[in-house]
Chains A and B, each alone.
Chain A
Amino acid sequence: MTMVRKGILAFAVSAALGLSSAAQADVLIGIAGPHTGPNAAFGEQYWRGASQAAADINATGGINGEPVKLIKGDDACEPKQAVAVANRLVDQDKVAAVIGHFCSSSTIPASEVYDEAGILAITPGSTNPQVTERGLTGMFRMCGRDDQQGQVAADFIVDTLKGKRVAVIHDKDTYGQGIADSARAQLSKRGIAAVLYEGLTRGEKDFNALVTKLRGANVDVVYFGGLHTEAGPLLRQMREQGLTAAFVSGDGVVTDELVTTAGGPQYVKGAFMTFGADPRKIPEGQALVEKLRAGGYEPEGYTLYAYASLQALAAAFNATGGTDAEKASQWLKSHPVATVMGTKEWDDKGDLKVSDYVIYEWDDQGKYHQR
């Protein structure tokens, strides 16, 4: 009943806007993520990567002979807005598939909309385990999971940093707390109980009280689960209060903006983070990286992830001869796909069979390098 009503409504809206004829010819792909808001940097990476992929795929015949057209869906990393965007992409824009979202807290509710509508979705960046743990047929990811990421971080803290007194801080968000919890669990498996486990508030800038507490607890490693918007000020205030503990974080801080939010490269120097092995160094992607750089854009962060996501979608749709999510999902789970990030294979949940998390370190120039 609701589906029928939704359909009628969508038809009325698209007819009123004169979209119905345009939507026939193209394969519409939604690029959903934070195109505005404090995390818009990641949305831009998505858009840049996917746009280039669309251009390249269209140059070689598109999907099933039809050109790919991208459409932005802006969720600003807010779960409520993500559901609204998902409904719009499905009902009004009638997308064939979605690349997105970014924040796990957005991806999880939005993916239920896509699943109900029978649409395939690939997230280039949502790492919370729950994204693929709910038995949705058409949900895939192009990145690893937080439990894998936490494992790598915990091993690094124990083996390389020889951390004894570790504090685990998170931002109370689905992503941030999820990855912090997973790091904490892996640490305790290695015999280290976090001396401090606390959440800070997103949108605040003053974490001095927390830093003083870290100092009082005499920590030698701080693990932070969250995004650069809070990681930067936290890092700066740690150093300003003379706390020299090592700082380890996850893939939520993979952007040069960490330097801006921290107030200068001197504060991010020596900070560590886990992230997939630099996709810019994978041989398959070299030509693309050169092309993007020649166009004046450095393909950092999730740019290549977004590119590879669209490649995977195109491969599945071309192989199954349509945009049916059920068939495409079956195909993706049983065939390897060659992408700019190497050959990728997915398991039955939609997770990558091989994850490639490694440790990165920030230098005194405000750049990050694989260790």
Chain B
Amino acid sequence: MDGIFLQQLVNGLTLGSVYGLIAIGYTMVYGIIGMINFAHGEVYMISAYLSAIGLALLAFFGLESFPLLIFGTLLFTVCVTGLYGWTIERIAYRPLRNSTRLAPLISAIGISLILQNYVQLSQGARQQGIPTLLDGAFRFPIGEGFLQISYTKVFILVAAFAGMAALTWVIHCTRLGRMCRATQQDRKMAQILGIDTDRVISWVFVIGAAMAALAGLLITLNYGTFDFYAGFVIGIKAFTAAVLGGIGSLPGAMLGGLILGVAEAQFSGMVNTDYKDVFSFSLLVLILIFRPQGLLGRPQVAKV
């Protein structure tokens, strides 16, 4: 294929891997308590601010090497964003666990508005930004054109896939992961067998927030700009990705993110940009018509 197609594939994969990271937060929370965390987009937005603060702090203390800077910032962002995730569960979900299904949904939307306005008031409504940290790009001549992949993009792809792999390992190979899976399968039974399900649910929110934190750092590195409203559009896209892949399924969220990203990029390239969101959502509708549980989701079986 020609260079343009490959370039669009790279564009789509970078964007899609970030969608996937955020979608993990939606899918895990849904998997374990059967509800959508509507404040998740704002968690991502806060992580973008935190990563800029982290970078600025470390740079202030004289840290200059890129790997150390990124690693330190990631640690800082993941910890604080995780705390936000934990708090959201504590405030918006736990007190309402035994109420109607709608109540926590509304409280989560409330939290999302609170976070948006809180950041706007405390940080200002202006666009914030960080300077470019990784300059330069690989360039491969293809046919008449060329394929250009900036170092930042390579870093994003690697970091996103590493994050997903680490999460898969946690869910499949650790004690916490086993507890998560058990709680997801049958919360009551898991509780009877001695699993502290409340703690597991808290952990799921923290893990989801941590993945959003990674996404926030990567996006901030890539575009260098963010504002208090940054979580809205990307939150909806990531939610779409989670549903596309099969909400509740971890690999589904990652796959959904990648498919959505690539589909958007290729559609923009081949048809036009005006209707790319229309196309994404039509794709979602089509998949939900023919496979209501999403691509990798399992059909819901009523528990007896």
Contact = CB atoms under 8 A, between A and B. Distances in A.
Contacts of A215: 4, 7, 145
B276 A209 contact: yes
Given A201-B233, A240-B150, A263-B131, A233 B269 contact: no
A257 B15 CA distance: 24
A203 interface: yes
B124 A216 contact: no
B272 A260 contact: no
Contacts of B277: 201
A228 B124 CA distance: 17
Interface string B108-122: 000000000000100
A209 B225 contact: no
B280 to A, nearest CB: 11
Nearest to B133: A263
A233 B125 contact: no
A262 B234 CA distance: 19
Interface stretch (A35-43, A109-117, A321-329): A35-43
B225 A233 contact: yes
B129 interface: yes
Interface in A37-57: 37-38, 40-41
Contacts of B87: none
Contacts of B225: 205, 232-233, 260-263
A206 B11 CA distance: 9
A88 B126 CA distance: 25
A199 B273 contact: yes
A242 B273 CA distance: 20
A209 B265 contact: yes
Given A210-B273, A212-B269, A263-B225, A241 B148 contact: yes
Given A38-B227, A205-B219, A212-B4, A264 B132 contact: yes
Interface residues of B, number: 45
A205 B229 CA distance: 12
Interface string A250-286: 0000000100111110100000000000000000000
B127 A242 contact: no
B219 A208 contact: no
A38 B223 contact: no
A151 interface: no
B128 A208 contact: no
A37 B223 contact: no
Nearest to B269: A213
Given A36-B120, A242-B139, A264 B7 contact: no
Contact of A212 (B7, B124, B234): B7
A40 B269 contact: no
A232 B224 CA distance: 10
B137 interface: yes
B229 A260 contact: no
Interface string A209-235: 110110110000000000011001100
A213 B152 CA distance: 20
Contact of B268 (A40, A205, A213): A213
B127 A260 contact: yes
Contacts of A133: none
A36 B225 CA distance: 17
Contact of B233 (A204, A232, A260): A204
B130 interface: yes
Interface centre among B4, B120, B126, B150 (most CB of A within 10 A): B126
Contacts of B129: 260-261, 263
B124 A40 contact: yes
Interface string A76-89: 00000000000000
Interface in B250-278: 264-266, 268-269, 272-274, 276-277
Given A38-B127, A215-B145, A257-B126, A199 B274 contact: yes
Contacts of B139: 242
A236 interface: yes
Contact of A209 (B12, B125, B146, B230): B12
A273 B128 CA distance: 22
Contacts of A69: none
Given A242-B137, A261-B225, A38 B269 contact: no
A213 B224 CA distance: 22
10 residue pairs, one from A and one from B, having the closest CB atoms: A263-B224, A209-B268, A208-B11, A40-B125, A209-B265, A260-B129, A216-B4, A199-B274, A205-B223, A198-B273
5 contacts: A208-B11, A215-B7, A216-B269, A260-B127, A261-B129
Given A216-B269, A257-B127, 14 more contacts: A38-B126, A38-B227, A199-B274, A201-B277, A209-B12, A212-B8, A213-B269, A213-B273, A232-B127, A260-B127, A261-B129, A263-B129, A263-B223, A263-B225
